[in-house]
Amino acid sequence: MIDQAYYESKNPVVIVTGASSGLGLAFVRLLDETLPEEISFWLIARDEEKLRRLAEGLQHATRCFALDLKEEYSFAVIEDALRSDGVTVQLLVNNAGEGMPGHFETHSVACHRSLCALNVSAQVTLTSIVLPYMEEGSAVIFTSSVAAFLPQPGFATYAASKAFILSFGRALAEELRPRHIGVTVTCPNPMLTEFFTSEEREKLLSSYKRFSIEDPVLVAKKTIAAVRKRKVVVVTSLLGRLVRLFSKVVPQHWIIRFVAKAAKEKP
């Protein structure tokens, strides 16, 4: 990836969505430490001030895109920039995402559509826009989740959105093999980031899921290592790998019942 082809590439860039906090921020900091300085960063999130402050502390030339990836116009802005700057995209990190815990019926139709717009539609759209600007040796990362391995009562739309990303990424990896473009889907367990409200964080810390909490910095490191090895799916924790194994060998309806009981959610 990135470290072999970049010096022959025209205007090499790395694009990271959800760059301003949590796992996206960990990706940016790690890439800033490890990538050659010729590569520019394009960082995407809604909060312009946060992006600007982050960019000031980076060694790489950085362009901030304060965009809402639920909005159609955002993709036109990125497409225009790709076209006018004549860049080669070495790495696209499709990371921005949001959660929505609670029973399906407790959320409005707008909430479900909004989650799908960011977690599913934005990732497919951005990938489609960026791929023509990639070359042999480029790579795409998708941030999925351990939630992708099993339907999750109490987190149904979110878990399904992550299952979509896992399925999409795996198929795309095969399609892009002849172009020698790598695709890696990363599947972390819960991380204590801004993804959770303080109330959700407390709930997480008092549930069985607290044993599975991961550090976003380590998740980023393991994911980038997997990209370099051209691994298609990386499950960044032992517990996550066990969940994946269980989901393959134990009848899924048993595990779904267990998850539903453990969540102790009321409709």
What does the per-residue mask of binding to ligand NAP show for 86-105, with x meaning CB under 6 A? ---------xxxx-------
Taking CB under 6 A as the criterion, the residue among 20, 90, 127, 152 binding ligand NAP is 20
Cβ burial 9-18 (10 Å sphere, 16+ → b, else e): beebbbbbbb
- Establish if 207 lies at the interface with ligand NAP (CB under 6 A): no
Check residue 246 for interaction with ligand NAP (CB under 6 A).
no
18 binds ligand NAP per the rule CB under 6 A: yes
Quick check: 195 and 98 in contact, CB under 8 A?
yes
Residue 201 in contact with ligand NAP, rule: CB under 6 A: no
At 88 the three-state DSSP class reads strand
Judged by CB under 6 A, the stretch of 5-13, 17-25, 56-64, 102-110 that binds ligand NAP is 17-25
Q: Which of 15, 28, 35, 45 binds ligand NAP (CB under 6 A)?
A: 45
Listed residue (142, 55, 145, 63) closest to 96, CA to CA: 142
As a whole number of angstroms, the distance between CA 255 and CA 201 comes to: 23
State residue 246 phi and psi, 5-degree precision: -55, -45
CA-based nearest residue to 27, from 137, 127, 140: 140
Q: Which stretch binds ligand NAP (CB under 6 A): 32-40, 65-73, 75-83, 175-183?
A: 65-73
Residue 111 has phi, psi (to 5 degrees) of -65, -45
Nearer to ligand NAP, 68 or 135 (CB): 68
Task: Find the Cα–Cα–Cα–Cα dihedral 50, 56, 58, 63, rounded to 10°.
Answer: 70
* Of 5, 29, 46, 246, the one binding ligand NAP by CB under 6 A: 46
User: In this chain, which stretch among 21-29, 130-138, 169-177, 249-257 interacts with ligand NAP, using CB under 6 A?
Assistant: 21-29
Listed in order, strand segments (DSSP E) in 188-240 are 233-235
Considering only residues 148 through 187, tell me which ones interact with ligand NAP, judged by CB under 6 A: none
Q: Decide whether 193 or 255 has the Cβ nearer to ligand NAP.
A: 193
3-class state of residue 96 by DSSP: coil
204-222 residues labelled b (16+ CB within 10 A) or e (exposed): beeeebeebebebeebbbb
| 194 contacts ligand NAP (rule: CB under 6 A) | yes
Q: Quote the least distance from Cβ 199 to ligand NAP, whole Å.
A: 15
Q: Does 112 bind ligand NAP (CB under 6 A)?
A: no
Contact positions toward ligand NAP, by CB under 6 A? 18-24, 45-47, 50, 68-70, 95-98, 118, 143, 145, 188, 190-191, 193-195
